[in-house]
Amino acid sequence: MKFKNLKTEEKDGIALLTIDRPKKLNALNRKTIEELHEAFSSLDADPDIRAIVVRGSGPKAFVAGADIAEFASYGPEEGRDLAAKGQETLFDLVEQLGTPVIAAVNGFALGGGLELALACHIRVASHNARMGLPEVSLGLIPGYGGTQRLPELVGRGRALEMILSGGMIDAERALEYGLVNHVTALEELESYCLQLAGKIAKNSPVAIRYAIKAVNAGSRSSVSGFRTEIDAFGSCFGTADFKEGTTAFLEKRKPDFPGE
């Protein structure tokens, strides 16, 4: 498979998928989301692939967020469409994939980047990892499943603190919270994830698919939370706070939110 913004490697039944936009800190634009959809779908359909490791290129970021310049001019309906299509195209797809996906989180995993890691089945972080959902600083909320998946992993109170403050936590705090499964040195992150993927790959792929489906079913008795997130995310695009937040970001200044 050849992509503009991704690299893929396959060895011994394990696929290593690298998001390759280092100059943009691997930010998720529309093209990258589409390519990730294609790559994950293709790998999941390949019976020789037993596990997938996804990472960001370079030492600075797993994925530093969404490409804000792409949606800064959107209105409410465009915002809802952005969230709905993104969830369907990538984030829900990854969560429901029958092939286990391990997120190798290095550097910044912010906004959509953390939401991608949350959608993966297992997360491993390097010591330099920094994770957060800073959307409120733009006059937004997480729109790719963050308001639903983060509380499932870290609890309601911790999730609300992270979302409402917009702040980042380090790898050790993420481990304490249960946001990541393991923490390792940056230079050992890839090998650690591949070793873990190798252990998984030795087991029954049929049983693994059923296990993932069963675990997902236990936390997906209702999709209303995701629908609520999509609607609220879209509504943010009609506010003065959103206009100020995104304008300030693009102008590289601190926002002065009017509160409307």
Closest CA to 104 of 40, 27, 182, 37: 182
Rg over alpha carbons for the chain, rounded to the nearest Å, is 18
H helical segments located in 72-177 = 76-86, 92-96, 112-119, 146-154, 156-165, 171-177
d(CA 48, CA 198): 13
d(CA 228, CA 217): 19
**CA-CA distances (angstroms) from residue 56 to 34, 53, 65, 154?**
16, 10, 12, 23
**CA-CA distances (angstroms) from residue 36 to 42, 86, 233?**
10, 11, 22
SS3 readout for 197-247: HHHHHCCCHHHHHHHHHHHHHHHCCCCHHHHHHHHHHHHHCCCHHHHHHHH
Catalytic-residue membership of 135: yes
Closest CA to 139 of 29, 251, 232: 232
In the structure encoding, which two tokens stand for residue 97, read together? 């994939």
Q: In what order do the strands lie in the sheet with 14-19?
A: 6-11, 14-19, 51-56, 101-105, 122-126, 182-184
* Given the residues 95, 115, 190, 244, the one annotated as active site: 115
* Given the residues 135, 190, 229, 244, the one annotated as active site: 135
Catalytic residues: 115, 135
